[in-house]
Amino acid sequence: MKRHSIPAFSLSRQIEQHKTALLGALEQVLDKQAFVGGAFVQAFEQQLAAYLGSEFVIGCNSGTDALWMALHALRVPKNGIVLTTPFSFIASSSEIATFGAHPVFIDIEQDTFNISPQLLAAWLEKNAYCEGKTAIHKATGFPIVGIIPVDLFGQCADYRILQEIAETWNLWIIEDTAQAIGATFGEKKAGTLGTIGAFSFYPTKNLGAFGDAGACVTNDPILAERLLQVRQHGRKATGYDYEAFGINSRLDAMQAVVLSQRLPLLEGFNDRRRAIAQIYSSMLDGILGLQLPREIAGHHVFHQYTVLVDDSKGVSLRNELEKYLAGIGIQARIFYPQSLQQISFLNTNAMLATACPVATKVAASCLSLPMWPEMTDEEVLAVCDAVRQFFVQPAAAQQVELS
Ligand SMILES: Cc1ncc(COP(=O)(O)O)c(C=O)c1O
């Protein structure tokens, strides 16, 4: 089989294409020497608010900080229970635990990789009761306070049902939409479907900065005030007028201008991701044992194109396919090799442990194929050929691995 050089993700062509505009944006910051906060950060926050159709955008240092700040603004109590997905980057759960609260893992849907609203409703019916407006966990007596769904790989979770559940049980929703900027669910943009939306602009995200960056999004003025306050040492403005406990999680002006320059390009990047996904889906359709991603909930922006790789008996061939592709110069990545309920320190209370068989199985057989907007059709087709070859001629695949 022909050798290739196709990374799982690359920014080199994109940066080359937009270098002059990006350097111009960075130069503005140098000229004004407005490195921290100020007009460039505010301009990006306003631009993002207009794009999302949201009242308030509060920039911060990372997606992890956005989750932490959202939990802080919602006053998550010690021993509070937050229902969340086990199939995600660790931050969507670990930030819950930093407050002494408990992530409770509800299994996912195999075809969207997102939290199952049906299993979430069933867990609440079985394990909770309402005392006044508060949902209480029967076995521990802990309050159940909120839900953190993740819009994994660029597709929104099912907010129609999640919002109904949240209303019935009086729970807030923090939408972790680190991977889905530009996706929509119904008429609304990802990030605006919960009480607070948490974004990451890590460089590999669909809208990436050139370092760490993130944002919280909300329509609630009280929460917006709290978020503004907590991101800079408990004060709403500069000066030494502290009103509450806070941290330093400001959005850097250098990152803000990069994001401002790239936000108008996002729809184009996402359209190209969708076109690549369409080529993958049509060329890889019909391979026994290969589950392709499906667009079920709204407009998917394919942060990742993630397949499940099994043989005809359901035994995972994921590691073999990954090695085979690597052997011919195609880099595929495993997001994620373990389901979060398998991480011991995230199991904060034995009485709250759940089994998540679907997430566990998905973690054992998922593989994300190369996905970045500047991939050429030829490169996408080369990946398809290689994957087909692996399934058609397993013996040939083995030879490459050994050589
Ligand atoms: C689903 C999800 N949540 C949260 C984060 C954390 O974002 P950051 O890396 O900007 O802290 C990420 C980033 O990888 C993510 O993918």
Domain boundary among 265, 291, 311: 265
Q: Can you tell me which atom of ligand 1 is nearest the CA of 150?
A: 1
Nearest by Cα to 97 from 156, 53, 148: 148
Can you give the CATH number for the domain in which 71 is found?
A: 3.40.640.10
Domain boundary among 265, 284, 304: 265
Tell me which residue range forms the domain holding 347.
266-402
- What tens digit of pLDDT does each residue of 320-368 get? 999 999 999 999 999 999 999 999 999 999 999 999 999 999 999 999 9
Ligand 1 neighbour 176 (Cβ under 6 A):
yes
Mark whether 209 and 305 lie in a shared domain: no
Clarify whether residues 160 and 270 are in a common domain: no
pLDDT tier at 192, thresholds 50, 70, 90? very high
Answer yes or no: is 1 within a domain: no
In a domain, residue 5? The reply is: no
Q: From ligand 1's centre to the CA of 88, what distance in Å?
A: 9
High-pLDDT (> 90) share of the chain, % = 92
- How much is the pLDDT for 402? 46
Q: The pTM is what?
A: 0.96
Quote the number of domains for the chain: 2
- Judge whether 366 and 40 are in contact, CB under 8 Å: no
Pocket test for ligand 1, best of 9, 60, 62, 64 (most atoms within 8 A of CB): 64
Q: Is residue 156 a part of any domain in this protein?
A: yes
Ligand 1: does its nearest atom lie under 6 Å from the Cβ of 179? yes
Query: In CATH, what number is assigned to the domain containing residue 387?
Result: 3.90.1150.10
7 in a domain, yes or no?
no
User: Could you report the per-residue pLDDT of 199-253, keeping only the tens digit for each?
Assistant: 999 999 999 999 999 999 999 999 999 999 999 999 877 788 888 999 999 999 9
Q: Which of 93, 153, 179, 303 to mutate to test the pocket of ligand 1 (most atoms within 8 A of CB)?
A: 179
* pLDDT value, residue 222: 98
Asked if residue 272 and residue 260 are part of one domain, the reply reads no
Question: Is residue 255 lining ligand 1, measured as CB closer than 6 Å?
Answer: no
Last residue of a domain, one of 223, 240, 265: 265
Nearest to 374 by CA among 298, 269, 285, 302: 269
Please tell me whether residues 93 and 123 are part of one structural domain: yes
Alpha-carbon torsion angle 186, 190, 195, 200, nearest 10:
170
What average pLDDT does the segment 55-72 reach?
Answer: 98
| Residue 3 within any structural domain of the chain | no
Question: Beta partners for 47?
Answer: none
Other beta carbons within 10 angstroms of residue 46's beta carbon come to 12
Whether residue 159 is preceded by a cis peptide bond, meaning omega within 30 degrees of 0, is: no
- Output the DSSP codes for 251-264: PBHHHHHHHHHHGG
249 lines ligand 1 (CB under 6 A): no
Dihedral pair phi/psi, residue 50, rounded to 5°: -65, -40
Q: Output phi, psi for 216, to 5 deg.
A: -105, 145
Structure tokens belonging to residue 204: 């590999």
User: How far, in Å, CA of 93 to CA of 179, rounded?
Assistant: 15
Prior bond of 280 cis (ω within 30°): no
Are 218 and 322 part of one and the same domain?
A: no
Q: Is the CB of 116 under 6 A from ligand 1?
A: no
Is 2 within a domain? no
Mean pLDDT to the nearest integer, 382-397:
83
pLDDT of residue 403: 44
d(CA 199, CA 190): 10
Torsion of CA 7, 189, 89, 287, to 10 degrees: -50
